[in-house]
Amino acid sequence: MAALQGLKLITAKRKTALSPIQHRRNKLMGRIDEQIDLAQATLEQRIYVKQRHRSVKDEQGIRSTVATQVRVKQWWFEQEGGKLALFIRYGSKIIALSAKSNAVECAALTDVLQALKVVKAAVEAGELDAQITAASEKLREGFTS
């Protein structure tokens, strides 16, 4: 015990889990990153492919990891006037960005990239926490009924 007397001993507890709000923010920021990658690939006229690793069993019962392609749906579409409209989605629900609007109008695909970066910064700062929570609760209601 004499060796430990020279150390400052404390009682500490490590935080193990994220708060639900931070978890939702991280989930949405990950999806926004996918949209940024998809928009960048579209600008460069190449195909964006997201890969996911899955564990599968073969005939002998041996598990192996296989990379599969996952389709990423774009959140923007072309409107009648030639401009683009960008929705922000949490799961299948569209997040209302303000009380009266649910989309961002963009003139070109480069503007979509900039808008996605601005929205990602807003999510990171916590400006859309109420909208994300409301969308999350709507999604959960669909699974309970």
Query: CA 54, 88, 50: angle at the middle one, nearest 5?
Result: 25
Q: Give the pLDDT confidence score for residue 6 in this predicted structure.
A: 80
Domain count, the chain: 1
- What average pLDDT values come out for the chain (145 residues) when binned by 10 residues? 79 84 94 96 93 91 92 93 94 90 94 96 94 91 80
- pLDDT value, residue 1: 59
| 12 inside domain | no
Q: Report yes or no on 16 lying in a domain.
A: no
Q: Per the domain annotation, does 2 fall within a domain? A: no
Residue 71, classified by CB atoms within 10 Å of its CB into exposed (0-12), middle (13-18) or buried (19+), is: exposed
pLDDT, position 43: 94
47 inside domain: yes
In a domain, 35, yes or no: yes
pLDDT recorded at residue 16: 76
Q: Using one digit for the tens of pLDDT, what is the confidence trace for 21-45?
A: 999 999 999 999 999 999 999 999 9
Radius of gyration of the chain (CA): 22
Give residues with Cβ within 8 angstroms of 132, minimum separation 6.
21, 24, 25, 28, 90, 95, 123
**Backbone dihedral region of 109: left (phi > 0), alpha (psi from -120 to 50 degrees) or beta?**
alpha
* Residue at 4 is within a domain: no
- Residue range(s) defining the domain that contains residue 68: 29-144
Examine residue 20 and state whether it is found in any structural domain, yes or no.
Answer: no
pTM of the entire predicted model: 0.80
Position 3 in a domain = no
